[in-house]
Amino acid sequence: MAPLDTNTGLVLEQMILPSLGHGGYAYQTQVNIGSRFGGGRHIQQIITISA
């Protein structure tokens, strides 16, 4: 099995984050929102805070 391409999320973030900022949204990136089943961190890429 080929390794996952984890850079695809970066491209999407580079397109979305400027749009959120331009729209007046506050946001956080790479937020730990808890634990996954079986242990390990559960990281959310982008969380909007307000509009």
**Chain mean position to CA 26:** 13
Give the integer Cα–Cα distance in Å for 3 and 41.
20
Q: Which two tokens stand for residue 31?
A: 């937020």
What's the confidence (pLDDT) of residue 51? Answer: 58
Over residues 6-50, the pLDDT tens digits come to: 666 788 888 899 999 999 999 998 899 999 888 899 988 888 887
Sequence ranges of the domains in the chain: 21-51
What's the confidence (pLDDT) of residue 21? Answer: 92
